[in-house]
């Protein structure tokens, strides 16, 4: 067998490549690791007249984008770990500074969960709570649901995204009546990425309108706001 054939075969059996640059080797190479090194980025969202902090850990970059996609669309375990680490990093800072009791993840569309074979962000959020040494729980009830369909966000600017998402999330009546909004602790919303903040603002709006107390949000990555 030619040497290249052996190498290709090895790659087939052990397809370990850097998530960021596809170099063969460990799951993320040292160069790409510098692009996924948790820091603290703080942004604020104004919703219903109140200001909500959003803490993120990693700045969005082409490499960060590949890490997020590898976790989200390809179920790559190493990418899950990177994202879990980043969100945990944001959360530690968030709780120390702003408090909060209950984690609630942004719901995926049912079609996306079906395609991925899992509730991606729900699983990551469970993992974040598990590895965190803080007194924090994941909401046992599904507090947020999609109340209508929305357009794909990628081609929209900031103003269009806010309009597209306005009123798109809701809290099922069951969730409010089963456990009155007042009985559940204060909420921290979890998402993988904040870009314009339209999704998080809509989630805060829906929860606040249903009577829940929201502290703010944590994300893995933060992109520069679109215009």
Residues forming contacts to Zn ion in the complex (CB under 5 A) are 18, 20-21, 23, 29, 32
- Nearest approach in angstroms of CB 128 to Zn ion is 24
Which C-beta is closer to Zn ion: that of 18 or that of 190? 18
DSSP 8-state secondary structure symbol assigned to residue 224: P
CB 165 within 8 A of CB 150: yes
Sign for the pseudo-dihedral over CA of 11, 15, 19, 24:
negative
- Nearest approach in angstroms of CB 23 to Zn ion is 5
The rounded distance, in Å, linking the Cα atoms of 109 and 153 is 13
- Nearest approach in angstroms of CB 16 to Zn ion is 12
Which C-beta is closer to Zn ion: that of 23 or that of 113? 23
Which C-beta is closer to Zn ion: that of 21 or that of 138? 21
- Nearest approach in angstroms of CB 138 to Zn ion is 32
DSSP 91-140: HHHHHHHH--SEEEEPPPPHHHHHHHTS-HHHHHHHHHHHH--SS-EE-S
Which C-beta is closer to Zn ion: that of 23 or that of 59? 23
Across the strands, what pairs with 193? 221
Q: Tell me the three state secondary structure of residue 157.
A: coil
Which C-beta is closer to Zn ion: that of 29 or that of 64? 29
- Nearest approach in angstroms of CB 67 to Zn ion is 10
Phi, psi of 75 (to 5 degrees): 55, 35
């Amino acid at each position: 067998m030619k040497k290249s054939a052996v190498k290709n075969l090895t790659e087939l059996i052990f397809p370990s490549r850097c998530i960021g640059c596809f170099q063969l080797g460990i799951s993320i190479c040292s160069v790409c690791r510098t692009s996924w090194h948790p820091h603290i980025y703080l942004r604020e969202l104004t919703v219903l007249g109140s200001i909500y902090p959003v803490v993120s850990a990693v700045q969005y970059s082409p490499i960060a984008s590949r890490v997020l996609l590898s976790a989200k669309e390809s179920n790559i375990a190493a990418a899950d770990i990177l994202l879990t680490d980043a969100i945990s990093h944001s959360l530690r800072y968030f709780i120390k500074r702003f408090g909060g009791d209950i984690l609630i993840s942004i719901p995926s569309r049912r079609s996306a969960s079906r395609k991925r074979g899992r509730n991606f962000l729900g699983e990551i959020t469970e993992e974040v709570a598990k590895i965190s040494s803080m007194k924090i729980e994941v909401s046992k009830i599904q507090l947020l649901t999609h109340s209508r369909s929305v357009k794909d966000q990628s081609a929209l600017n900031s103003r269009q995204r806010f309009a597209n998402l306005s009123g798109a999330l809701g809290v099922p009546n069951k969730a409010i009546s089963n456990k009155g909004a007042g009985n559940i602790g204060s909420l921290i919303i979890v998402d993988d990425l904040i870009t314009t903040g339209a999704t998080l603002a809509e989630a805060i709006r829906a929860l606040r309108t249903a009577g829940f107390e929201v502290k703010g949000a944590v994300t893995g990555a933060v992109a520069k706001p679109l215009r």
